[in-house]
Structure formats: structure tokens, C-alpha cells
Amino acid sequence: MMGEGLFTGMIVLFWVAEALFGALVLYWFLTQGFDSDKDTAAGGPVELEDSSATIKSLGMWAVFFGVLVLGIIVGA
Amino acid sequence: MIGLSYYIFRRQSVTDTKEFITAGGRAQLGLTTASFAVTWMWAGDILGVPQYVGITGVAGIWMYAAPAVLSSFVVIPFALRMRELFPQGLTYSEYFIERFGDWAHLVVILVILYTMVLGGVIQLFVGGAVIGGLTGIDANIVMAVLMGVIGIYILLGGLWGSMTTDFVQFVSALALTLIFVPLLLLEAGGPGQVYSQMVTNLGEQSASFLSMANFDAIEGLFLPYALGLGVWGVVSLATWQRVFAVRRDKTSRFLTIGGIGVFTTIAMYSVIGFVGLASFTDVAPGNLSIEALGLMPDWAAIVFLLVALMVLGSSVDSYLTAIASLTSRDIYYRHINEDASDGQQLRVARGASIGFAAVIFAGTVFALGSISFVQLLLIGGIGASALVGPFALSLFWKKASQTGFVTGVVVSQLITGYLLAASYDVVVTTPTLKLWEIMAIGHLVSTGLTLVVSGASPDDFRFESIAQEAPSVAADGGVEGGDDE
């Protein structure tokens, strides 16, 4: 059973994570806009991502699931 | 929303089917991530997460959120493979025509169609229950107004309109979780007060309700969600529209950030459930959300409702644009009028948006009086159990054949349909299985039959025969040259 401190910390952690997520997406939108530049629009879709980009994404998922399991163990 | 959608209609020149359905395949990361995230952080969470918390405590957070974000993870290999084969593809269901033929395509679009309609019903259910419940306005009137407004702005902007209004709705969802949920928490006395009040109210149950490792409800809540909606992203047309809309070099990035971000949003909605558990001792889990939200000051409740309306609209409009794409391209163009002009397809897409808005409305009116929200939510993922395995085999196994694929999907849906009817005593009464068992059987049957039948009657498919012409624009956006993948 989690204590009061852990319960409060969990809610604060969720709030901070949500704020960071929102800030990142807003930053992307403000700096990139709606669509790619005119050359891209005229010429067709860009190249598919390379394997390093995919590995980086999978790494983020691994960290996420690791933190989730850790949270379940710590909050047991 | 209607005004914004009209602006997008003019700005992005939404005058042909490709712009209407795929946003031209060049949408940027921020817009697509917001659109994807808000499509998945649906208004259903406002009811669903507190209900999970009311049933099983803090463990309800991950039991609800982990399967919900699993979709984003599972869909990555599918998305990369599809974008490799179809860099300029319009709808992913067209793939089944190229890969197998008309029968497989027909089976897929029928499963997707009812799945997407169910998704729309789930969303509108929330609108009727939450907004009607808090305001006292008749739920049917709330739902009719919602469908009217959403239908109009979809008519104008198509996917560009949907994604742009999604962005506004994404900001609205942030306001809900970052401002209104903490406000509710403070109204209840703050986290410390909520914690101690929960311990008092829950009594002996507090040890299990305040443990993240409380696995008591794993069969009822986690497993059916993970086996159904948890892989729904692979089946959802709304997901595929966004996969084909984003720049190809950002495919896994937007799925990763969008998916993980959805977890944090869902986690914040759990606070509504904690406040409910701390404030009430005799409220059913299904009513916890509405009772807890009623603790907010009147002005905050009104603003909350307005923002919730926008979040709800984001999901329903996604389903409507997906269904419009399905009707226009996959049914009308592919099976009814292959000579249809772009203008004709666009008219059909817009007509379908309105027609299915009415179908979703009628379905929700029926569901609101006959089934609980969590039951509806979990059953909504049943279609995924028939498609995910066969779809994976078709993408990565050249011997997967149309006979095997169609057999796997159809038999799986018939069996799960029968088992579901038996479990709810509709016409038949035996056997009675748990929902997660029915979904597991659906996955096993669809994947197993596709494997066995394809093994007995194998195809020898050459994937390069359906791959589209390589694109001519490099990832930096300006360099001419092919893609050698």
C-alpha cells in the first residue's frame, strides 16, 4: 500500500509529464506549422525514416515500459 | 470549430480526394502527434478511468492506460511496412485489394466499418452521459447537437479540418488535465486530504485500493482491454489516416510521442476517481466521475463541460472522416463505380460523413439505455481480434493466401460473435466465457486458421509487385532522388 507521500508524488509526476508532453507538441507545431515545404508538397512524400530513428523510438518505448513496471513495484 | 475548418478548407485547398482523406501525406510532426494523441485520449477516458479506479484503486491507472497506449507501440512495424510499400497510399484497406483481391478487401472493410461505428457510439455515449448528467439536459438532445456540429465541419475540411480542429481539441484536453483536474483536487482539500479520506472511506479495502500491484481485476479490466482496444490501433482507420498523413521520416516518432503522451493524460483523469473515492462512500464506480465533477464550482463545471465537448468532438470527427474515406474509396470507387471522378468520390465521402453521423447517433441512443459504459468500451475492441494476426501474416509472409485470410477473419468473427451473444444471454446461453477469453479465442482462431489454410493452399506473393513508385523527395524536403528501400 502506497503512503501519502508516494501518492502525492505520483500525482505531481503525472502532472509534470503531461505538461512536458503538451509543451513538446506545442513547440513542434509552432516551429513546424501544418505541412512540409513547397518542394515536398510538389514532389511527393519524403524518404522513409532510417533504422536509427526507429531504434530511437523503440528505445523510448523500452524506457517507458521500464518506468511503468518500476512504478508498479514501488507502488505495490 | 466550423470557422476554423472553413479556414483550413481555403488554406490547404481541400478540393480533391487525396487532400480530403490523407492531408496530402505531408503533415508535420506537431500537428499529426496532437491529432493522433487526441484521437486516442478520447472523452471516454473521463468516464472510463475513474470507473476503473472505482473498481480496483490506483492499479486502475495502468490497467486502463497501458493497453490504451499499447496500440501506438504495436502499430509501428505495421506502419513502417505499409509506408515502405505504399509511400503515397490513400487508405490502408486498399492494400488488401492489391495483396489478396476483392473478397479479402470486402471482409476487411466490413469489420472496420462496424468497428469504427462502435468507436463513434462509445464517444457519443460519453457526451450523453457526462454532459447530460451534469447539466440535466436530455442526453438525446446533447448527442444530436454534437453530431450536427461535427458533421458540418467535417463536410468542409475533411482530414485537414479534422486534424486542425484536433489540435485545438488537444490544447483543450491539456486544459482539462493541467487546470481543471488539479482544481478539482484542491476543491477536495488537496492530495493529502484526498489520501487520508480515501483510507477512511475504504477501510479494510484501502490496502488493496492503494496498491499498484493489485491484480484482482486483471481479468475483468486489463486483459480484455489489452486484447481488444489494446491492438485496435492496427485496425483503426483513424490511426491509418494519420500514419499516411505524416511525413514518412517521422512515422515511428509521432506514434511513440503520441502514445506515451496519452498515458500521462489518462493518468491525470484518475485523479477524478480518487476525489470520488475520497468524497463518497456509496456511489457506484460507473457514477464516480459525474458525482466527483459535480464538486467543482459552477463556473468551473461549465468551462469543463465546454472543453470536454471539444475533446469529444475530436474523436467523433476522426471516426467520421475515416468512415467517409472507407465509403468513398473502398466501397464506392472500388466496388461500385471504378470510373468515378474525383468530384464524385468527394461528394460520396461527404455524404457518408452525414449518413454515418445519423447511424452513430441512433446506435448511441440504443446503447445508452441498454449497456454500461465499460461493457461497451471493452466490446468495442472485438473486431481487432479477427484482423490483427491475419494482417500481420499478410504483410510479412508471402505464403499468406486470400483463402486463408478470409477464412481466418470470417470464422473468427462468427465464433467471437456467438461467444459474445452466449455470454450476454442473447438468443443463446452457453458457453459463458470471460470477455478476455473470447478475445483470445478470436486472435487464436483468426491467426491459426490463416496459417493453416494458407499452409495448405499457399500463395507465392511478390511484395515488390505492389510497391508503389519510389518517392522523389529526400527527407530534407528538397533533394530530388529515389528511395532505394
- Whether residue B274 is found in the same domain as residue B405: no
**Residue whose C-alpha is closest to residue A36's, from B251, B252, B245, B13:** B245
Rounded to two decimals, what is the model's pTM?
0.80
Residue B246 β-bridge partners: B27
Helical axes B44-56 vs B59-85, angle rounded to 10°: 140
Which residues in B lie closer than 8 A to residue A75 (C-beta atoms)? 58, 211-213
Instruction: Give the gap in angstroms from C-alpha A39 to the nearest C-alpha of chain B.
Output: 6
Q: Which residues of B touch A69 (CB under 8 A)?
A: none
Asked whether residue B367 falls in the same domain as residue B386, the answer is no
CA separation for the pair B120, B118 (Å, rounded): 5
- Which residues have CB under 8 Å from B401's CB, separation 6+? B100, B453, B454, B457, B458, B459
CATH of the domain at B122: 1.20.1730.10
The residue whose grid cell reads 482539500 is B189
Do B364 and B386 reside in the same domain of the chain? no
Residues B364 and B411 in one domain: no
Q: Domain ends where: B343, B371, B399? A: B371
- Domain's final residue, options B324, B349, B371: B371
- Domain assignment present for B478: no
Same domain, B402 and B284: no
Position B273 in a domain: yes
Q: What is the count of structural domains for chain B?
A: 2
- Taking an 8 Å cut-off on Cβ atoms, the answer to whether A25 and B252 are in contact is no
Q: pLDDT tens string for chain B (485 positions)?
A: 555 555 555 555 545 555 555 555 556 677 777 777 766 667 778 888 898 999 999 999 999 999 888 888 988 998 888 888 877 655 666 788 888 888 998 898 888 888 888 888 888 887 777 777 777 888 788 888 877 777 776 666 555 656 666 777 777 778 888 888 888 899 888 999 999 999 998 888 888 999 999 998 899 889 988 898 888 778 777 777 788 877 777 888 888 988 888 898 889 999 999 999 998 888 888 778 888 888 888 888 887 777 777 767 766 777 777 788 788 877 888 778 888 887 888 788 878 878 888 888 888 888 877 777 777 877 878 888 999 999 999 988 999 999 999 999 999 999 999 998 898 888 888 888 888 999 999 999 999 999 999 999 999 888 877 766 544 444 333 333 333 32
**Is residue B377 included in any domain, yes or no?**
no
Asked if residue B65 and residue B203 are part of one domain, the reply reads yes
DSSP annotation of B57: T
Contacts of A68 (CB under 8 A, 6+ apart): B62, B66
Q: With a cut of 0.95, is the ipTM above it?
A: no
Residues B234 and B137 in one domain: yes
Which of B40, B86, B210 should we substitute to test contact with A (largest number of A Cβ atoms within 10 Å)?
Answer: B210
Q: Is the pLDDT of residue A10 over 90?
A: yes
User: Residues B312, B457: one domain?
Assistant: no
Assess contact for B213 and A73: CB atoms under 8 A. Answer: yes
> What is the distance between the alpha carbons of residues B394 and B450, in angstroms, rounded to a whole number?
9
What pLDDT score does B481 carry? 34
DSSP B270-337: HHHHHHHHHH-SS--GGGHHHHHHTTS-HHHHHHHHHHHHHHHHHHHHHHHHHHHHIIIIIIIIIII-
> Which of these, B362, B349, B322, B305, lies nearest to B121 by C-alpha position?
B362
**Interface-testing mutation among B36, B260, B307, with chain A (most A C-beta atoms within 10 A):** B260
Q: In this structure, how many other beta carbons lie within 10 angstroms of the beta carbon of residue B483? A: 19
Instruction: Please report whether residue B86 resides in a domain.
Output: yes
Q: Residues A14, B265: contact at Cβ < 8 Å?
A: no
Are residue B405 and residue B362 in the same domain, yes or no? no
Kindly state whether residue B471 falls inside one of the protein's structural domains: no
Residue B18 lies in a domain: yes
Q: Pick the closest to residue B449 from B401, B380, B383 (CA basis).
A: B401
Could you give the 3-state DSSP secondary structure of residue B480? strand
Among A26, A34, A49, whose Cβ lies nearest the Cβ of B248?
Answer: A49
Q: Which of residues 45-74 of A touch B (CB under 8 A)?
A: 45-49, 53-54, 56-58, 60-61, 64, 68, 71-74
Residues in chain A: 76
Domain of B291, in residue numbers: 2-371
Looking at the structure, tell me whether residues B402 and B259 fall in a common domain: no
Judge whether B52 and B272 are in contact, CB under 8 Å.
Answer: no
Task: Examine residue B291 and state whether it is found in any structural domain, yes or no.
Answer: yes
Same domain? B354 vs B457: no
Domain edge (last residue) among B346, B371, B396: B371
Q: Are residues B251 and B330 in the same domain?
A: yes
> Is position B472 within any domain?
no
The span from the CA of B20 to the CA of B336, in Å, is: 20
Q: How far is B477 from chain A (nearest CA, A)?
A: 5
Helices (H), chain A: 4-32, 38-43, 51-74
